């Protein structure tokens, strides 16, 4: 496992400090890695996709999650705050331009960051695309995917009274922010389990996540979703023209039940510099074997530029 050559906490203002690390080659091509969730945090596993002799890999825990502090905080925690943090990280590390690498919510944030500062992005590598639209949230929390997983849906909804099940994001919000820590933990576990159990093609039941992690993940994700991720409806597709000169590779599991392939298709359609790579027999998770292998191929290809991705 590649170890970081730099680890630090950065004060980003608003009472927040975020964890940041760098690994690989300090003189290599910069890659800023954007983790999912919101609220998931980065992990050493995320370093494995990058040749350490070629890339300068920057990972950080977004506000409120992972090693960032205060833990599970939603204060001053919006998409714009995260975009400001990315800009601050670039300044702090002296990075003028970089590849943005992100999956799921990390793909959302990568697109938003590129649209906010296109001159700072050399390429986009996206996985399991989520564009934060109402139809995508309805698919996952409004009963769409439940038609495939009625048993898991029953587990997810059983703690919520029937008269509140028409708005599960709102119903969970009331409980995840009740002020009673034990209740918040109790409802964070099924929230996390519902997503985790559908992330891989081979479905595993339940979640063994530590309560503090589950609480931070559920609170942050729910906070963003109840606020439509602090984006206008359809904003990322509407503003795609601002980044169409940037090369992009989109790696999408053919059987992704969390972020269905239709979204990746819509993002890539008509974007001449975007490559959409549908990965057979794969779901959503970064750890899906074929997804992981394809992401390594993408980054090795960009290193060598043997496919002309950056041309």
Whether 256 is catalytic: yes
Note if 61 is an active site residue.
Answer: no
Q: What is the b/e burial string over 188-210, where b = at least 16 CB atoms within 10 angstroms of the residue's CB? A: bbbbbbbbbbbbbbeeeeebebe
H-only helix segments in the chain? 79-93, 105-116, 134-141, 150-157, 168-176, 181-199, 211-226, 235-238, 261-268, 289-304
Distance of CA 32 to the CA centre of its chain: 13
Comparing CA positions, the residue from 131, 63, 57 lying closest to residue 98 is 57
Neighbours of 241 (CB within 10 A): 11
Q: Name residue 104's beta-bridge partners.
A: none
Residues 6 or more apart from 288 whose CB is under 8 A from it?
A: 200, 201, 253, 279, 282
Q: Among the options 73, 207, 256, 282, which is catalytic?
A: 256
Catalytic residue among 98, 104, 188, 282: 104
Distance CA 111, CA 113 (A): 5
Distance CA 10, CA 113 (A): 19
**What is the C-alpha to C-alpha distance for residues 268 and 129, in angstroms, rounded to an integer?**
10
CB burial of 102-132 (b: ≥16 within 10 Å; e: otherwise) equals: bbbbbbbbbbbbbbbbeebbbbbbbbbbbbb
Per the annotation, the verdict on 104 as an active-site residue is yes
Catalytic residues: 104, 256, 284
């Amino acid at each position: 496992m590649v170890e970081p050559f730099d680890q630090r906490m950065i004060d980003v203002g608003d009472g927040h400090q975020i964890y940041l690390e760098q690994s690989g080659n300090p003189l290599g091509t910069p890659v800023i890695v954007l983790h999912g969730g919101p609220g998931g945090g980065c992990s050493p596993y995320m370093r494995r996709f990058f040749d350490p002799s070629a890339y300068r890999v920057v990972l950080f825990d977004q506000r409120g999650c992972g090693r960032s502090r205060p833990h599970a905080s939603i204060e001053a925690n919006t998409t714009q705050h995260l975009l400001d943090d990315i800009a601050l990280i670039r300044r702090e590390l002296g990075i003028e331009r970089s590849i943005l690498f992100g999956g799921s919510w990390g793909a959302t944030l990568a697109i938003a960051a590129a649209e906010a500062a296109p001159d700072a992005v050399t390429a986009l590598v996206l996985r399991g695309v989520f564009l934060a639209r109402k139809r995508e949230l309805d698919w996952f929390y409004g009963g769409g995917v439940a038609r495939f997983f009625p048993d898991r849906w029953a587990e997810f909804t059983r703690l919520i009274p029937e008269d509140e099940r028409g708005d599960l994001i709102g119903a969970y919000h009331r409980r995840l922010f009740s002020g009673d820590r034990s209740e918040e933990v109790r409802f964070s576990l099924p929230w996390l389990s519902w997503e985790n159990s559908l992330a891989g093609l081979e479905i595993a039941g339940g979640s063994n996540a530590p309560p503090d992690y589950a609480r931070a993940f559920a609170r942050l994700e729910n906070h963003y979703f109840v606020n439509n991720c602090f984006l206008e409806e359809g904003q990322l597709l509407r503003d795609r023209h601002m980044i169409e000169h940037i090369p992009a590779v989109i790696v999408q599991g053919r059987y992704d039940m969390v972020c269905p392939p239709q979204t990746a298709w819509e993002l890539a359609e008509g974007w001449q510099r975007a490559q959409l790579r549908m990965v057979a027999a794969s779901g959503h998770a970064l750890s899906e074997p074929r997804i992981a292998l394809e992401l390594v191929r993408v980054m090795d290809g960009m290193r060598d530029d043997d496919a002309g991705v950056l041309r």
